[in-house]
Structure 1
Amino acid sequence: MAKRKLLREIAEEVYGPEKAARFWKRIDIIGDIAVIRKPFDVDVEELKPLAEALLRRLPYVKSIWAASSPVEGEYRLRSYTHLAGEKRSWTLYREHGCVFKIDITRVYISPRLSYEHQRIARLVKPGETVINMYAGAGLFSIIMARHSKPARVYSIDINLDAYRMMVENVKLNRVEGIVVPILGDAARIVEERLRGVADRVLMPLPELALQHLPHALHGLRGSGWIHVYLHVFAGKGEDPKRKAVDLLSSRLEELGARYRVEHARVVRTVGPRKSQVVVDVYVEA
Structure 2
Amino acid sequence: MPTNLREALRGKLTEDELRELRAFDIIGDIAVVKLSKRLLPKKNIIGEALMEVHRNIRTVLNQTTPVLGEFRTRALEVIAGEARTETVHREGGCKFKVDLAKVYFSPRLGTERLRIARLITPGETVTNLFAGVGCYSIIIAHHSEATRVYSIDKNPDAFEYMVENIRINKVGDRVVPILGDSREVVERELFGKADRVLMPLPEFSHDFFDVAVRALKPSGGVIHFYDFGEEPDVFGPALEFAKSAALSMGFDVNLLHARKIRSYATRCYHVVLDLLISPGLKI
What is the TM-score with the length of structure 2 in the denominator?
A: 0.91
Q: Quickly say closer, same or farther: Cα 1:48–1:261, change in 2 above 3 A.
A: same
Question: How far, CA to CA, are the matches of 1:263 and 1:17 in structure 2?
Answer: 43
> Which 10-residue stretch deviates more, 184-193 or 41-50?
41-50
Of the three residues 206, 221, 225, the one matched with 1:224 is: 221
Matching of residue 121 in structure 1 with residue 93 in structure 2: no
The alpha carbon displacement at 1:247 in A equals 3.2
Once the 2 structures are TM-superposed, how far is the Cα of residue 181 of structure 1 from its aligned partner? 0.4
> What is the aligned partner in structure 1 of residue 137 from structure 2?
141
Give the one of 81, 87, 94 matched to 1:91: 87
Please tell me whether the aligned partners of residues 11 and 23 of structure 1 are also in contact (alpha carbons under 8 angstroms): no
Q: 1:258 aligns with which of 246, 252, 256?
A: 252
Identical columns (%): 41
Paired residue secondary structure (1:102) = strand
Cα RMSD over matched residues?
1.9
Secondary structure class of the residue paired with 1:115? helix
Q: Please give the alpha-carbon distance, in whole angstroms, between the structure 2 residues aligned to 1:266 and 1:13.
A: 38
Matched to 2:4, the amino acid is: L
Q: Which has the larger radius of gyration?
A: 2
In structure 2, C-alpha distance between the alignment counterparts of 1:17 and 1:140, rounded to whole Å:
41
Is residue 172 from structure 1 mapped to residue 171 from structure 2 by the alignment?
no
1:217-263 alpha-carbon deviations (Å, 9 max, x no partner): 111012100001112333xxx13123332333333334332120111
Mark the CA change 1:143 to 1:48 in structure 2 (over 3 Å): closer, same or farther.
Answer: same
- Residue 283 of structure 1 corresponds to 277
Unmatched 5+ stretches in structure 1: none
One-letter code aligned to 2:108: R
Match among 50, 70, 73 for residue 74 of structure 1? 70
In 1, Cα distance between the equivalents of 2:41 and 2:274? Answer: 42
Residues 46-57 of structure 1: pairs in structure 2 closer than 5 A? 46-57=42-53
Report the Cα offset of residue 274 of structure 1.
2.4
Match of 1:204 among 185, 200, 206: 200
The residue that corresponds to 2:236 in the other structure is 242
Work out which of the residue numbers 27, 31, 48 in structure 2 matches 1:30.
27
Q: Indicate the larger mover: 97-106 or 246-255.
A: 246-255
Counterpart residue identity of residue 221, structure 2:
G
Q: Provide the aligned length of Structure 1 versus Structure 2.
A: 276
Consecutive unaligned residues in structure 2, runs of 5 or more: none
| TM-score, reference length from structure 1 | 0.91
Q: Deviation digits for residues 162-212 of structure 1, max 9, x if unmatched?
A: 000000000000000010000000111011110010000000111111111
- Residues 96-107 of structure 1 correspond to what in structure 2 (within 5 A)? 96-107=92-103
